[in-house]
Structure formats: C-alpha cells, structure tokens
Structure 1
Amino acid sequence: MTQAVPGTRRALVVRGGWDGHQPEAATDLFLPFLREQGFEVQVETEPEVYADRERMAGIDLILQSTTMTEISWDALVGLRAAVAAGTGLAGWHGGIADSFRNSSDYLQLVGGQFATHPAKAPEERVGDQTDNYLRYTVEITDLGRSHVITAGIEDFELDTEQYWVLHDDLIDVLATTTHPVRPWHPWHRPVVSPAIWTRLWGSGRIFVATPGHGPDVLEDVNVRTVIERGLLWASRTESE
C-alpha cells in the first residue's frame, strides 16, 4: 500500500456485490475526482476491511458500492464505530441503500432501505432491466435548495430505476421523488420517497443518492454534481 503523505485525506472505496450495478465501472468514474480533491484512494472488494479498526481509524471517507451480499458482525461493528468516530460514509443507489439486507443494524446506520423499483406497464416489458426504467422527477426540497450538496440544482428528470425507499425520521431529505398511482400498481395514492438524503451519526456524516443504477445515470450532470458534492460533504475533514 502506498505510504500516505502526512495530512493527506484518505478515501476507502469498497465495491462489489451484484454485478448488475457495475460497481467497478461506476466507482471508477469518481476516483479521479477524489484524487484531484487531495484524497489518497484505497480500493477493496470486500466489506471485511471494516473490521480492521486500526486501518479504519485513518479513513476520512468511505465510498461504498456494494449491492446486496452480506457483512460479518465484526465488519458491521467496525463500520458503525468508524462512522460514529467521524469517518464519512457515502454512496448511491443499491451500493449503499440496498446493501447487507440481513443486517438491521446496517439499515439503522444508513436510515433508508430500498424496497422496490416499480415497473412499466405489463405490455411494455421486454424481460430485462429496462422493464423498471421509468421517466421520473427528482424534486429538490426546501432544505435541499439551501444545502451545499444540492444548492443551485433545479428539479430534474431521469429515465432509470425509481427507488421506493423505506426510511426513518433521522434523515435530512434534500430531494424526493413521487411514485404515482398507475392502473397496474396496487397502491391507491401517490407515494413520496427520499431520493437524496444526509444523516448525522455520532461524529460522522452519511450521504445517500438513490439515482445511480449504472455509469450512464452517474454521468448525468445533475446526478454527478450531487454525488461529487456529497462525497466532499461526508468526508471527515469537512465535518470537523
């Protein structure tokens, strides 16, 4: 491992899990940005790194892109301890909001969990991932209009998976998206889900953006801007 220069910020990228979210290609989009911002970037493919307390104590930012899969108890304890001590945790889509489904303690840490992404009308489906691509709007909240992550960004549209998220009241919602009532869906009134949120946990900061199914969505100027700002906001040196 490269020796860090004293005072250098350290980012740990943990990527893996379900291949459909292209965790390697997706996170590769942001590695040059992190390095340009002065981070020494370390990359791991397993969450077990979180169990290394000594190593985690020197990490300022975790960029996690690990959909589904599992996490050991020691790794989970290490992750929660690192964030509570000031390490930032950030990510997008299933890489953070659909990780480690069997761990309620992880879900509590992040504050929001993927439930589903509603599909197109049955007659429009072709049997691949695009069945779940819908045109929808990401709407900036009043808080989001003044927050450094989303300030200056207007409501924007995407054609991709629209996440339905289960969440608690400890998150600060910077943007939402509304699931409308459609004849082929079973709900009877529009459902509003958080699309971008932050969370304070001990001395640490957590940032989540639900858009980001693949590199094409991450290249959207609004999505990319929000994520880059979110990475910086979550970092320990920003939160001190």
Structure 2
Amino acid sequence: MSARSALIVRGGWEGHHPVEATNLFIPFLESNGFEVSIEDSTAVYADDEVMADIDLIVQSVTMSEISADEAAGLRKAVAAGTGMAGWHGGIADSFRADTGYLQLIGGQFAAHPSKHPDDVVGGVEEDSYLPHVIEISDLGRQHPITAGLDDFSLTTEQYWVLSDDLNDVLATTTHPAQPWQEWHRPHVSPAVWTRQWGSGRVMVATPGHNVEVLENPNVRTIIERGMLWASRTA
C-alpha cells in the first residue's frame, strides 16, 4: 500500500509560530503512514497536478493573503476529496478578504476578549489569556474526534468565531457577559467543528495559540484525531 500524502502549508503572522507548531505534528503524521511535504507559500494550491495527489492539508497561515487562483485550487481540491485540518488563527483567521475561503472553512475569527481593564498591561499576549472551558457537545461525545474526552479548561486566547450552520460542532466555549464588555448576555462560540465540502472533510480547532496550548493533551488529541478523520477517505 502506498503512503498517504500530507501537505503542510505554513506562514503568515509569526506570532502563532507556524513552523514550531506544525513541526509538532510531523512525527504523528509519519507514524500514521503519511509522506509529509512542506510549503511556505499558498502557491501550491494553484497547482492542480500536485493537489490532486494530496490526501490531507494541514494549514497554519494566519492572516496573510491568497490569490484567486490559489483559493479556487484549494476549494477544488477539498471538493474532490482532499481533507483539510488546522487550528487557531492558522485556519480560522486566514485570508480575511477571500470570501470563498471563508465559506470553505465555515468560521472566521472575530475577537479574543481581553481581561478586566485593571489587569491589562498593554501590548502583551497575556492581556487576552482568559481561563475558559471547552465544552464537548452532545454530537462531540459520539464523534471519533472527541469521543471519550471530557470538558476541559484552558487559560489562553478564547476565540469568538462567526460561523454558519453547515458546521457539525463538536465543542463550544462560552464568553461570559462582563460589565466591562459590550455584549449583554453570554455568547456560545464553536471551538471545534467539522464540515463536509463536496467529497472532502474539514476540521477546525480554535485552541492553539502557541506550542504550549497545542501540547495540552486534550487539544493535541483533538488535532491528531482530526487530521486522521479529515484525510481523504476514498
């Protein structure tokens, strides 16, 4: 049996450590029979010949830009059966200006609320590190990505995500209504979801701001299972 192919596409804003973060998962992919290739540019998405042979895309590209032909090539590949998986801003805050990409992924980062103003130092990442709970949904308790996991706590960026109802939400997180914030009631945001796109599968996990979060046993389990689940099935 020939090895499956995994393509890691990484770059964009360096604050999410795309090289270190994706390197964390390469041994796992290789131990599960993937031949891993790495690209530091989204130009590969426009190469139909290369993309036709990819079973799984692992993307870590925060913000940045994507050309129309690259975005079209990515959508085409996923619709034809290539799986796609990622975490945090590397997939949920990529290519903000490309509506086709946003539709493919099914969710877009909108904010990570900050601490109480009295606790904000200013200009440091920790200003947005909040203790919060990732709650496994009823669907998630049955899904192979999250089955057997319990709700778990993190202290890191808590993503507020805009999403649609084509997502199968496996876990959520609740943003409380705080007196120093503008919203007037708690807001439940998806934290882990899957999405069918044509013949392809997409998996997104919003935790993963840095390597420390990715090494959390629950987060790492979700991402590793998610990559296997998303990979081409036919």
Same-fold call, TM > 0.5?
yes
Identity of aligned residues (%): 67
Give the match for residue 225 of structure 2. Answer: 229
Which amino acid in structure 2 is aligned with residue 30 of structure 1? F
Alignment of 1:133-172 (within 5 A): 133-172=129-168
Question: Which segments of structure 1 move beyond 3 Å, counting only runs of 4 or more?
Answer: none
Question: For residues 75-96 of structure 1, what are the alpha-carbon distances to aligned partners after superposition, in whole Å with 9 as ceiling and x for unaligned?
Answer: 0010000000000010000000
SS across alignment from 2:140: helix
Which position in structure 2 is the counterpart of 1:80? 75
In 1, Cα distance between equivalents of 2:39 and 2:167: 27
Superposition pairs of residues 26-65 of structure 1, within 5 angstroms: 26-65=21-60
Q: 1:170 Cα shift? A: 0.3
**2:84 maps to what in 1?**
89
Q: CA deviation at 1:109?
A: 0.2
Residue 217 of structure 1: aligned partner:
213
Q: CA deviation at 1:126?
A: 1.3
Unpaired runs of 5+ residues, structure 1, are 1-5
Matched, 1:174 2:155: no
Q: Render the CA deviation track for 1:101-140: whole Å, top value 9, x for unaligned.
A: 0001100000000000000001101120100000000000
Q: Secondary structure at the match of 1:101?
A: coil
Q: Does residue 167 of structure 2 align to residue 132 of structure 1?
A: no
**Helix, strand or coil: the match of 2:64?**
coil
Give the TM-score normalised by the residue count of structure 1. Answer: 0.96
Equivalents in 1 of 2:23, 2:119: separation in Å? Answer: 33
- Which one of the candidate residues 102, 116, 124 is aligned to 1:107? 102
Q: CA deviation at 1:151?
A: 0.2
**Counterpart check, 1:205 vs 2:228:** no
* Structure 2 residue ranges without an equivalent (≥5): none
How many residues matched? Answer: 233
User: Counterpart of 1:3?
Assistant: none
Q: Residue 44 of structure 1 aligns to which amino acid in structure 2? A: E
Output the CA distance in 2 between the equivalents of 1:118 and 1:126.
14
Match of 1:192 in 2: 188
After superposition, the CA RMSD in angstroms is 0.6
Q: Secondary structure at the match of 1:193?
A: strand
Letter in 2 for 1:190: P
TM-score, scaled to structure 2: 0.99
Deviation at 1:173, TM superposition (A): 0.1
